[in-house]
Amino acid sequence: MSLSPARRAAYDVLHQVGADDAYANLALSAVLAGTDMPKADRGLTTDLVYTTLRRRGTLDAVIATAVNRGLDKVDPRVLDILRMATAEHMYLGKPAHAVVDNAVRLTVAVGAASAKGFVNAVMRRLTATDPDSLVANATRGLSGDALLAALHSHPEWIIRAFRDVLGPDELTALLERDNEPPSVTLAARPGRMSRDELPGEPTPWSPWGTYLKGTDPGSLPAVRNAQAGVQDLGSQLMVLAMSRAEVQGADDHWLDMCAGPGGKAALLSDLLPDGGELVAVEQHRHRADLVQSALRGTPGKARVQVGDAGAVEGSFSRVLLDAPCSGLGVLRRRPESRWRRQPSDIPELADLQRRLLNHALDVCRPGGVVAYVTCSPHLAETDLVVEDVLRRRTDAVAQRAADLLPEVPDCADGLAVRLWPHRHDTDGMYLALLRKTTDSD
């Protein structure tokens, strides 16, 4: 029996993620592009990569019961193989003999032949036990957040951050939803095509979205031609809300401050009023190129500007600030982030968010609106940023954002909007709507 090419490809992706800090989606795309594997093997590669990354916390707890030393003492190459093989047994239902045999063969193939006996012994022990019993053994004696972390594969600090916002009742549902693959969602760009022209089931709430199943989005002519794009439903709803906000005075100059990779800019450009213009700012050239590509064929007047969004000049009636953040709301889509992010990242991000939000209000004309958006629910990146900025200014007020999305259930959180994976089948999104005051306010 030869080594499975799907397992080798999955290992290569996991190794890049762990050793080189690669993004899983980009590494996976690159590895798959370099193979001629059939569709079934490509699907297995994808399942192995994302299941291993999403369930890493639980997998490590299980593996630790079968290893007589700390996992930090295990060769990282070998640990990746153990994680992947244990994921096959626990979550993908692969036969025990195939799991063990492929793990041993892979150990040799990656240059760690001296560990093949170790891998064989560990995997024989684990595959001899059913998944439920493995989890029960791994969590024996644990309680509180340590138990949740082992059961649901999230670092404890992220669990605490989610509880601070969501409370305890829905916490488990959110954690488990993060461990499930997200829906593939398309957005028809309204100035270029209608939703009815896209395949898939229409989404709720967004007039542009469809859920795509069983088809590679990149194979669709509409996606290749930028008439539509892959875009989470939550992202679509942020644009919809901003487009519905009332503006006093001229509404002809819009700004997307952190525009890459361009999904929101593409919708905004198609929604511009006659004579309006969108300026899409992106600091990084390669992401700015993606924005430019997304704007191909838009009937709106739009231009891409490469540079610091906190230094952009002008006077705008609508400003979208989709701020750089920890990404804790997209852990189902970017599972490696939960293992990379640290609590120490949050203060620096919050400082940047406050700087950008202040600048957004500076360039927003009186009577205009600023939509402050993050894909993190963390209080320090959402409510506390907005409250701190408004406390230090006299020229802006928060408005009730949920009024702009009356069709979306359970999205109001005070004046802000919060979308959740387990409630809305969206990324975890936050929206605060701020209005720049006029002399008469």
Instruction: Please check whether residue 332 is in contact with residue 177, taking contact to mean a CB–CB distance below 8 angstroms.
Output: yes
Distance of CA 268 to the CA centre of its chain: 21
Helices (H), 153-220: 156-166, 171-177
**What is the per-residue pLDDT for 285?**
96
- Nearest CA-CA partner of 338 in 376, 372, 382: 376
**What's the predicted TM-score (pTM) here?**
0.96
Amino acid at 30: A
DSSP conformation letters of 225-249:
TTSEEE--HHHHHHHHHHHHS---S
Which residues have CB under 8 Å from 305's CB, separation 6+? 279, 280, 281, 282, 288, 312
Instruction: Please check whether residue 218 is in contact with residue 241, taking contact to mean a CB–CB distance below 8 angstroms.
Output: no
Amino acid at 74: V
Amino acid at 266: A
Tell me the HSE value of 208 on the side-chain side, using a 13 A CA sphere.
29
User: How many CB atoms are closer than 10 A to CB 275?
Assistant: 10
Distance of CA 22 to the CA centre of its chain: 15
**What is the per-residue pLDDT for 434?**
98
**What is the per-residue pLDDT for 440?**
59
Under-50 pLDDT residues of the chain: none
Q: Which long-range contacts does 100-103 make (Cβ < 8 Å, 24+ apart)?
A: 100/124, 100/127, 101/1, 102/3, 102/4, 102/7
Q: Rounded to an integer, what distance in angstroms lies between the CA atom of residue 32 and that of residue 35? A: 5
- Nearest CA-CA partner of 316 in 262, 359, 354: 359
Q: Rounded to an integer, what distance in angstroms lies between the CA atom of residue 380 and that of residue 278? A: 30
Residue at token pair 């963390």: 378
Catalytic residues, by residue number, are: 375
**What is the per-residue pLDDT for 1?**
60
Residue at token pair 């762990």: 18
**What is the per-residue pLDDT for 136?**
98
Which pair of structure tokens corresponds to residue 261?
Answer: 């990779």
Tell me the HSE value of 367 on the side-chain side, using a 13 A CA sphere.
9
Q: Which long-range contacts does 194-197 make (Cβ < 8 Å, 24+ apart)?
A: 197/222
Distance of CA 291 to the CA centre of its chain: 18
User: Is beta strand 429-436 parallel, antiparallel or unpaired with respect to 364-374?
Assistant: antiparallel
Distance of CA 64 to the CA centre of its chain: 29
Distance of CA 59 to the CA centre of its chain: 22
Instruction: Please check whether residue 193 is in contact with residue 201, taking contact to mean a CB–CB distance below 8 angstroms.
Output: no
For 66-122, the pLDDT digits (tens) are 999 999 999 999 999 999 999 999 999 999 999 999 999 999 999 999 999 999 999
Helices (H), 91-130: 96-109, 116-127
Q: Domains for the chain: give ranges and CATH numbers.
A: 5-140 (1.10.940.10), 144-180 (no CATH), 233-436 (3.40.50.150)
Q: Which residues of 362-393 are buried (b: 16+ CB within 10 A; e: fewer)?
A: bbbbbbbbbbbbbbbbbbbbbbebbebbbeeb
Which residues have CB under 8 Å from 234's CB, separation 6+? 329, 375, 419, 424, 426, 427, 428, 429
For 258-282, the pLDDT digits (tens) are 999 999 999 999 999 999 999 999 9
Q: Rounded to an integer, what distance in angstroms lies between the CA atom of residue 319 and that of residue 251? A: 11
- Nearest CA-CA partner of 299 in 208, 192, 187, 188: 192
Instruction: Please check whether residue 370 is in contact with residue 353, taking contact to mean a CB–CB distance below 8 angstroms.
Output: no
- Nearest CA-CA partner of 312 in 278, 343, 344, 268: 278
